[in-house]
Amino acid sequence: MLDQIHDLYDEMEKRRVMLSFKGNLTSELVSALLGLVENKMEAIEPDPRTRKRVFNVLMECLQNLYHHTGPQPGSSSTEPNGVVMIAHQDQGYSVLTGNFIVGSDVDKLKGHMDRINALPPDQLREFYRETLADGKYSTNGGGGLGMIEIARKSGGKLEYGFVPYDQHNAFFSLNVNVTS
């Protein structure tokens, strides 16, 4: 394990990881992670629009993790478990998240993201407005706006993947690029 710490450090350095977290996500942790990234962005990113977009994307991604992720299948913990990482790229920033979801939700989520990815910016905005005005609420209030907003703030396509974990669960990975 000891020699792997250096490998881990090297790997993170190579990928220019600004922050990474794996574990149970509480409301306090969401605040702490947002605060850390906000301070760091203030120091390294001169463009306020990019700073705000990265903050917005991270905020929505963390909320998704907080609300939608399940505990690691088969573990004794009942807490939501996930991973989040922010990396600096040549062209901007990447916000990466990963979490367990119920296998039966995969098709719906995939369909939603494919629909978003197929829309040019003006139609994406229209989709946002329609969803905002549709009067439907999810339990946390977002009502289907989260992914649309993430895509709008990113300006790029949502990159995603699903890996079957066991009979009932899958691991969902999402990469959102915010170009500066």
Partner 1 sequence: MEALHLDGSPKTPHVHFDPETGLLELKGRSIPENSIDFYRPLIDWLDQYSRAPKSKTALHVQLEYFNTSSSKCILDLFKKLEGVRATGNEVTVLWHYEADDEDMLEAGEDYAGIINIPFKTIQIEEVDGK
Contact 152, 124 (CB under 8 A): yes
Based on the shown chain and the rule CB under 8 A, indicate whether residue 67 belongs to the binding site for partner 1.
yes
| Distance (Å, whole) CA 134 – CA 104 | 25
The nearest distance, CB 113 to partner 1, in angstroms, is 15
| Distance (Å, whole) CA 24 – CA 69 | 10
φ, ψ of residue 5 in degrees (nearest 5): -60, -40
Among 33, 41, 54, 60, binds partner 1 (CB under 8 A): 60
Contact 68, 32 (CB under 8 A): no
Among 20, 21, 66, 79, binds partner 1 (CB under 8 A): 66
Based on the shown chain and the rule CB under 8 A, indicate whether residue 84 belongs to the binding site for partner 1.
no
Paired tokens of 23: 């574990």
Based on the shown chain and the rule CB under 8 A, indicate whether residue 27 belongs to the binding site for partner 1.
yes
The nearest distance, CB 96 to partner 1, in angstroms, is 19
Q: Taking CB under 8 A as the rule, which mask of x and - marks residues 131-170 in contact with partner 1?
A: -xx---x-xxxxx-xx-xx---x-----------------
